[in-house]
C-alpha cells in the first residue's frame, strides 16, 4: 500500500474520531525493546531508578503482532517505533514488514548506528528519525565517541535509498547554542529536523541537561527565527510559539481549573487518541509521566489496559513538551502540522 493511501487512511480515521468525539488509540508509540547499543546521557536507559530487568525488556514479534492487530481493530493507524534502539531487535525486519503490510503509517526512531546494516528492512518505512544533538563535539559528548560520524553516514544511506528522513535533537543546556549549525547541516544533507526537551520535561539531577524557564523561552524564540529564515525545521510555528509563550514554570503542568491569563493551551490528547506501550508491556499516557506509569497489557490485556489508562493520567490540560503539543495538534488536523508532514514526505512521494 502506497504512502499517499496510508496517509489518507490515517487522515480518515482522525477525521472520524473528531466528528464522533470518540476516544480511540489512533497514534501509538511502540517501544519494542529497551536494549540499546548506546548510553546517551539523558536517556532512561542509563537511569539508575530502573532495574536491569526493565532495561533488558523486549516485546517479541508474536506479542507485537497481537498488540498491533488489537489496536488496529480499535482505530490505530500510526506507529512510531522506538527503543532503546529498535534496530537491535533480532526480529526488526519481520516487525516492520508486518506493520507496513497492515496499512499502518510507520516511523522508526533510531540512533543511526545500524542503518547501513538494516537498510533493506528500512526501505518500506514511511519515515526514519535519526537522533543527533548538534555537531560532532556536542553529539559525541552526549551520545558517545564516533556517534556523530556514524549517524551522518546513516542519514546519507537512508536518503540515498529514498527513505523520508529527519534529524531529531534532544534540547539541553549543553547544545542549546549549537542548533543553528545542526539545522544548516540538515539543509546540506537534504533532511528536515525537529527538537524536543528531555523526558520528564527536562527534570534531572545533571545541571548541564536542565534548562531554566528563561533559557527555554530564549531558545524557542531563537528557534522560531531559524525556521522563519528558511532552515529545514519541521516543528510547526504554532507549536513553537505555544512553547515560547508557556505561562508557568516549564517543569510544571497546566491543571484543569487553573487560570492561564491570555494563554490558550492545546489540550493534550495523550490517553485519548494517543497511547504508548513500553517494552515491558506497560501501557502509558506519555514518556513525561514515566514509562512504568500505567496498566500492563500482559496482566490486563490491550482493551482493558486502554479502558484503565486515564486512571493513571494526572488532572492535567497540557505540558510544555513540544512533542505533546504537536501530537495534539496533529490529531486535531491542524493545517500547519499537515503542511509540515507533506513537506517531510515530498522528496519521496513527489
Average per-residue pLDDT in the chain?
91
- CB contact at 8 A, 139 and 148: yes
Residue-wise pLDDT for 130-152, tens only, equals: 999 999 999 999 999 999 999 99
DSSP state of 289: G
Domain span holding position 142: 3-349
Is the confidence at residue 109, as pLDDT, over 50? yes
Residue in 82, 71, 98 with CA at minimum distance from that of residue 32: 82
Residue-wise pLDDT for 179-206, tens only, equals: 999 999 999 999 999 998 877 666 666 7
Residue in 123, 116, 70, 68 with CA at minimum distance from that of residue 93: 123
Residue-wise pLDDT for 219-257, tens only, equals: 999 999 999 999 999 999 999 999 999 999 998 899 988
- What CATH number is associated with residue 122? 3.20.20.70
The verdict on pTM exceeding 0.85 is yes
DSSP string, 49-110: TS-HHHHT-B--HHHHHHHHHHHHHTT--EEEEESS-GGGSTTHHHHHHHHHHTT-EEEEEE
The three-class DSSP label of residue 128 is: strand
Residue-wise pLDDT for 15-60, tens only, equals: 999 999 999 999 999 999 999 999 988 887 777 788 989 999 999 9
Please state the domain count of the chain. 1
How far is residue 72's CA from residue 104's CA, in Å, rounded to a whole number?
8
Alpha helices in 129-236 (DSSP H): 136-143, 147-160, 179-189, 213-228
3-state percent breakdown (helix, strand, coil) of the chain, nearest 5: 45, 15, 40
Amino acid at each position: 500500500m502506497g504512502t499517499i493511501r496510508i496517509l489518507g487512511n490515517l487522515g480518515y480515521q482522525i477525521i472520524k474520531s473528531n466528528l464522533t468525539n470518540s476516544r480511540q488509540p489512533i497514534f501509538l508509540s511502540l517501544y519494542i525493546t529497551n536494549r540499546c547499543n548506546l548510553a546517551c546521557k539523558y536517556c532512561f536507559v542509563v537511569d539508575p531508578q530502573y532495574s536491569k530487568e526493565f532495561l533488558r525488556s523486549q516485546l517479541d514479534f508474536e506479542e507485537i503482532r497481537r498488540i498491533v492487530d488489537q489496536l488496529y481493530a480499535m482505530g490505530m493507524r500510526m506507529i512510531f517505533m522506538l527503543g532503546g534502539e529498535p534496530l537491535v531487535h533480532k526480529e526488526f525486519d519481520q516487525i516492520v514488514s508486518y506493520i507496513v503490510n497492515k496499512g499502518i503509517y510507520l516511523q522508526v526512531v533510531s540512533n543511526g548506528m545500524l542503518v547501513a546494516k538494516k537498510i533493506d528492512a528500512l526501505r518500506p518505512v514511511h519515515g526514519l528519525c535519526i537522533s543527533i544533538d548538534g555537531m560532532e563535539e556536542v553529539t559525541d559528548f552526549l551520545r558517545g565517541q564516533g556517534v556523530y560520524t556514524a549517524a551522518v553516514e546513516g542519514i546519507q544511506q537512508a536518503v540515498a535509498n529514498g527513505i523520508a528522513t529527519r534529524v531529531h535533537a534532544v534540547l539541553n543546556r549543553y547544545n542549546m547554542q549549537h542548533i543553528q549549525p545542526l539545522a544548516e547541516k540538515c539543509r546540506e544533507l537534504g533532511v528536515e529536523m525537529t527538537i524536543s526537551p528531555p523526558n520528564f520535561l527536562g527534570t534531572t539531577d545533571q545541571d548541564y541537561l536542565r534548562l531554566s524557564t528563561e533559557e527555554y523561552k530564549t531558545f524557542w524564540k531563537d528557534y522560531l527565527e531559524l525556521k522563519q529564515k528558511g532552515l529545514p525545521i519541521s516543528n510547526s510555528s504554532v507549536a513553537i510559539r505555544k512553547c515560547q509563550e508557556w505561562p508557568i514554570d516549564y517543569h510544571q503542568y497546566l491543571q484543569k481549573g487553573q487560570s492561564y491569563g491570555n494563554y490558550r493551551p492545546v489540550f493534550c490528547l495523550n490517553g485519548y487518541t494517543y497511547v504508548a506501550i513500553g517494552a515491558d508491556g506497560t501501557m502509558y499516557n506519555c514518556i513525561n509521566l514515566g514509562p512504568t506509569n500505567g496498566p500492563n497489557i500482559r496482566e490486563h490485556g490491550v482493551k482493558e489496559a486502554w479502558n484503565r489508562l486515564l486512571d493513571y493520567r494526572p488532572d492535567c490540560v497540557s505540558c510544555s513538551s513540544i512533542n505533546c503539543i504537536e501530537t495534539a495538534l496533529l490529531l486535531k488536523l491542524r493545517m500547519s502540522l499537515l503542511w509540515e508532514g507533506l513537506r517531510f514526505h515530498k522528496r519521496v512521494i513527489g
